[in-house]
Amino acid sequence: MTGHCGALGPMSSPVASRRFPRWVFGEGSEPDPRFTLANERTFLAWIRTSLALLACGVALEAVALPMQPQLRLAASVLLIVLGLLTPVQAWFAWSRDERAMRQGRPLSAPSLMVPLTVGTTATGLLLLAALLLR
Amino acid sequence: MTDGGRIFDPGLQPERTALAWRRTGLAVAVGAVAGMRVLTPALGAGAVVVGLLGLALATLLVVGSMRRARRVEVALLRDHCLAAGPGGRLVATVCIACTAVGVAALVAVLAAHAAR
């Protein structure tokens, strides 16, 4: 092994410290690379979730489906707000979990699960009401 | 993504990660083209600008992730760990871009509703 694996500590190698952000990669030891890659794919799945939420929110208003306009707008705004929260949480979850893996600590639970479930359910109910009240 | 037929992991984790980046980039590209189509009645030529910005972002994502995948492959085959692998620059860029798209979407939807 010719790399800079293992514990870094205060004598951390310049190669490791160059990785961004410093507060994630500056300490701890390299985890199993498969875990780092899995963390990255989880991040990307959240980003695609965000893109889907944003696309739905914009499409609802852009296509102007025949629905009660106020309720349709509310559903659209709710979808977009959820789509805005998702990338923020994706960044914090990715960096927090990468840091935890480097320090051998347990991973945190995803903090957006409940708001996302409640939010998408509320969107469904709003759209149902918008269809019935048009 | 093999180097002379060598692979790091029989579970093909680096390859799966590269594909995840690529389908995220493709999702952005599809969204940009669909957005251009859907927004044309409202924005006219502005929709083309939105579409081209989206396609530029998709290109950045796909090209950036290919370089990233190459770096991952080199680090893994040489060191068997990612100490010399990529950090979170592209990750942060994607987050910022996604948030910016979201803010633009929110402003656009509210403005369109107010104008009606």
**Stretch B58-68: mean pLDDT, rounded?**
96
Confidence band for B2, pLDDT divided at 50, 70 and 90: low
Give B5's contacts (C-beta < 8 A, 6+ positions apart). none
Task: At B32, list the tokens.
Answer: 């940009």
Q: How far apart are CA B109 and CA B97, in angstroms?
A: 18
> How many contacts does A have with B, using Cβ atoms within 8 A?
149
**Stretch B73-91: mean pLDDT, rounded?**
94
**Closest chain A residue to B103 measured between Cα atoms?**
A84
Does any CB of chain B come closer than 8 Å to the CB of residue A35? no
> Which residues of chain B neighbour A13 with C-beta distances below 8 Å?
83
Per-residue pLDDT, B5 = 72
Q: What are the pLDDT tens digits along chain A (134 aa)?
A: 444 575 544 444 544 458 999 999 999 999 999 999 999 999 999 999 999 999 999 999 998 889 999 999 999 999 999 999 999 999 999 999 999 999 999 999 878 999 999 999 999 999 999 999 98
Residue burial B42-59, b: 16+ Cβ < 10 Å; e: rest? ebeeebeebbebbbebbe
**CB-based burial label for B66 (10 Å; 0-12, 13-18, 19+):** middle
Does any CB of chain B come closer than 8 Å to the CB of residue A62? yes
Q: How far apart are CA B100 and CA A28, in angstroms?
A: 33
Asked if the Cβ–Cβ distance from A51 to B20 is below 8 Å, we say no
Q: How far apart are CA A88 and CA A66, in angstroms?
A: 33
Does any CB of chain B come closer than 8 Å to the CB of residue A22? no
Asked if the Cβ–Cβ distance from A44 to B13 is below 8 Å, we say no
The radius of gyration of chain B from alpha carbons, rounded to an integer in Å, stands at: 18
**B54-57: long-range contacts (C-beta < 8 A, 24 or more apart)?**
B54/B28, B54/B29, B54/B101, B55/B29, B57/B28, B57/B32, B57/B97
Distance from CA of A106 to the nearest CA of B (A): 20
pLDDT higher than threshold 80 for residue B78: yes
User: Tens digit of pLDDT for each residue in B26-45?
Assistant: 999 999 999 999 888 888 89
Phi-psi category of residue A3: left, alpha or beta, with phi > 0 → left and psi -120 to 50 → alpha: beta
Per-residue pLDDT, B4 = 66
Q: How far apart are CA A74 and CA A57, in angstroms?
A: 10
Distance from CA of B21 to the nearest CA of A (A): 7
> Which residues of chain A neighbour B39 with C-beta distances below 8 Å?
58, 62
Asked if the Cβ–Cβ distance from B17 to A40 is below 8 Å, we say yes
Per-residue pLDDT, A16 = 47
Does any CB of chain B come closer than 8 Å to the CB of residue A23? no
Which residue did the predictor score with more confidence, B42 or B50? B50
Q: Tell which of A15, A19, A40 to mutate to test the B interface (max B CBs under 10 Å).
A: A40
> Which residues of chain A neighbour B72 with C-beta distances below 8 Å?
33, 37
Per-residue pLDDT, A118 = 98
Other beta carbons within 10 Å of B16: 15
